[in-house]
Chains A and B, each alone.
Chain A
Amino acid sequence: MNPFDLLGGLGRAVLAMLATFGQVALFAFNAISHIFRPPFYPREFIVALMNIGWLSLPVVGLTAIFTGGALALQIYAGGARFNAEAVVPQIVAIGMVRELGPVLVGLMIAARVTSSIAAEIATMKVTEQIDALVTLSTHPMKYLTAPRVLAALITVPVLVGIGDIIGIAGGYVVATQNLGFNAAAYLQNTVNFLEPHDVFSSLVKGAAFGLIAAIMGCYYGMNSGRGAQGVGRATKSSVESAAIMILAANFVLTGVFFSL
């Protein structure tokens, strides 16, 4: 193969990626600006709050409790190698609040919320419902995007906070029931060790991940191709890119909060 072809192909791929990135950034900016500009659609916002926040609680709770429990077991076993079993409460707390809580909740939201937003909006696009909205003098970015983005921005940090608490509770149950920790001492250690900064970083990550999850769902939905295949592609791409962007944002935010 001609090396220039390869180079050309690579160049095109990079350009295409940059173009997509630019479009997403523009879309995100647009989506956020519509949150602040009337008309507002309170009914759609309440429905979005229910779908994104309330109905995600079971998934978030289950994810957190199993992860917290497993974390306690791992740290106990790992800590035993250098006689440091006692650090279980501290490491579970810091691991859940700083990293696993936000990341796992973010990924579950990408799976649950991003996919459903993308599929719903893409179907609306494919069946001309978006065009119909426009002809009924309703701006799709205000009616569809803004309520979902705002709802995710508000509810995902709350979900992360709840996930953190349930995760710690999972660790607590395993540590006190199976590993012989004293209940009061475990809680004391957890509370004493965590700093407000840890909790704050957790919630900020939640807000960022919520924003990413909703915006990627809306972006791919609005830009869906035609037919059932278009809807399938839009859904797949939205979850893929939301998950990757959440992980990348997590890395950046962790750097900002804890190494600067």
Chain B
Amino acid sequence: MIRMENVHKAFGDNPVLQGMSLEIPKGTSMVIIGGSGTGKSVALKCVLGLIKPDSGMIYVDGKDAKKGDRDAFLARFGMLFQGAALFDSLPVWQNVAFRLLRGPLKRPPEYAREIAIEKLRRVGLKSDVADRFPSELSGGMQKRVGLARAIAAEPEIIFFDEPTTGLDPIMSGVINDLIREIVTEMGATAMTITHDMSSVRAIADNVAMLHGGVIQWTGPVGQMDASGDPYVEQFISGSAEGPIEAVR
């Protein structure tokens, strides 16, 4: 279980998170929606400790995320970055199998490569991309390699930052199904950021809307359409009219 309590984060005079609180029960899929630039990616990075919050608390399984063994903490997580963040000096398969090629989870290279190719297949990539370099792939393919890397070590908690942005509708469907499968079959806890409402409906158990640095609304996905919250309604309808300003 992940719990964020009253988390604040500002960059210089740009207040981004202004008291964000959110709870994600173990084994469930939380989707965060919200306009671009509202701090969704910053929130994920705060949980992972990549960005230090100015104030507030973050708990993972009831324990303060700042304390304890950092390696053991991070070993439980997988993260897909918004920009994929692939290592451009390594071929695709070594990116996917990064954790399996070094450190405590080290396996023989042939085995690591097999796992990498299997994970690539799960995100809809053929085995011939395995030996290519990230710079030779399209943006959507890089994103899927990033996804394969995030799930390669079968982590308990997975963060997906805009997993379907830049993908065609069919590929988006494949990725949505995959994320859903990881949560229901592997029992993982997932936190996904997306702007794509069809993804929200496919992936989410619960939805939270981030606006103005706080969680504006949160609830089960089934209640999203009847939330009665003007921010959520405007976001779902994609209308320029409403409480969310179109110029931000």
The residues of A with any CB-CB pair to B shorter than 8 Å are 39, 41, 124, 127-129, 131-138
Chain B residues lying within 8 Å of A138, measured Cβ to Cβ, are 98, 102-103
Q: Which 8 pairs across A and B sit closest by C-beta, in order of nearness?
A: A128-B85, A132-B85, A135-B79, A137-B74, A128-B81, A131-B50, A136-B98, A129-B85
The residues of B with any CB-CB pair to A shorter than 8 Å are 45, 48, 50, 71, 74-75, 77-79, 81-83, 85-88, 98-99, 102-104, 149
- Cα–Cα distance between A137 and B81 once the two chains are bound (Å): 15
Other contacts beyond A127-B83, A136-B99: 17, CB < 8 A: A39-B102, A127-B85, A128-B82, A128-B83, A129-B86, A131-B50, A132-B81, A133-B87, A134-B74, A135-B48, A135-B50, A135-B74, A135-B79, A136-B74, A137-B75, A137-B99, A137-B104
- Cα–Cα distance between A4 and B246 once the two chains are bound (Å): 47
Chain B residues lying within 8 Å of A132, measured Cβ to Cβ, are 79, 81, 85-87
Given the known inter-chain contacts A137-B74, A138-B103, please indicate yes or no for A129 contacting B79, CB distance below 8 A. no
- Cα–Cα distance between A136 and B71 once the two chains are bound (Å): 9
Chain A residues lying within 8 Å of B88, measured Cβ to Cβ, are 129
- Cα–Cα distance between A131 and B75 once the two chains are bound (Å): 14
What is the CB-to-nearest-CB distance from B102 to chain A, in angstroms, rounded to a whole number? 7
- Cα–Cα distance between A136 and B77 once the two chains are bound (Å): 8
Among A39, A129, A134, A137, point to the contact of B87 (Cβ < 8 A): A129
Contact at B102–A41, with CB atoms within 8 Å? yes
Chain B residues lying within 8 Å of A124, measured Cβ to Cβ, are 87
Contact at A131–B85, with CB atoms within 8 Å? yes
- Cα–Cα distance between A132 and B89 once the two chains are bound (Å): 14
Query: Whose C-beta in chain A lies nearest to the C-beta of B98?
Result: A136
Q: Can you spell out 8 A-B residue pairs with CB atoms less than 8 angstroms apart? A: A39-B103, A131-B45, A131-B50, A132-B81, A132-B86, A135-B74, A136-B98, A137-B74
Chain A residues lying within 8 Å of B81, measured Cβ to Cβ, are 128, 131-132
- Cα–Cα distance between A137 and B98 once the two chains are bound (Å): 10
Chain B residues lying within 8 Å of A131, measured Cβ to Cβ, are 45, 50, 81, 85
What is the CB-to-nearest-CB distance from B233 to chain A, in angstroms, rounded to a whole number? 33
